[in-house]
Amino acid sequence: MWPDWVIAFVGDGRIALLALAVIGLEALVIVVFMRSRARVGSLILTMASGAGLLGALYAALSGASAGMIAVWLVLALLAHASDMGTRLFRNT
């Protein structure tokens, strides 16, 4: 069985906040250190879609309204659609 602190950490959404912080740190590292070696915009869009999903997870676990969860999911969808659009139509 899981320890109580793990159940609390996951149950109240802090795990999603930790994951969001990791994504933010990754984005910062990419922007600072990989400027010329990677398509930063595409990577940021990929991270943004994941961040939107994590925002929805946090909202759901922390008891936010269904409307707030929907806002996060729509933001994730827009970021994902933008990411896919840039990948599909990059060379056309």
Please tell me the predicted confidence (pLDDT) of residue 14.
Answer: 95
Q: How far apart are CA 17 and CA 3, in angstroms?
A: 20
Please tell me the predicted confidence (pLDDT) of residue 19.
Answer: 96
DSSP 40: H
Q: How confident is the model at residue 3 (pLDDT cuts 50, 70, 90)?
A: very high
- Taking only the tens place, the pLDDT of each residue in 11-27 is 999 999 999 999 999 88
Question: Which residue has 């906040």 as its token pair?
Answer: 17
Please tell me the predicted confidence (pLDDT) of residue 28.
Answer: 86
Please tell me the predicted confidence (pLDDT) of residue 69.
Answer: 98
Please tell me the predicted confidence (pLDDT) of residue 35.
Answer: 66
- Taking only the tens place, the pLDDT of each residue in 55-90 is 999 999 999 999 999 999 999 999 999 999 988 887
Range list of H helices, 1-92? 4-11, 14-33, 40-61, 66-88
pTM for the predicted model, two decimal places = 0.85
For the record, the structure tokens of 21 come out as 């912080």
Q: How confident is the model at residue 36 (pLDDT cuts 50, 70, 90)?
A: low
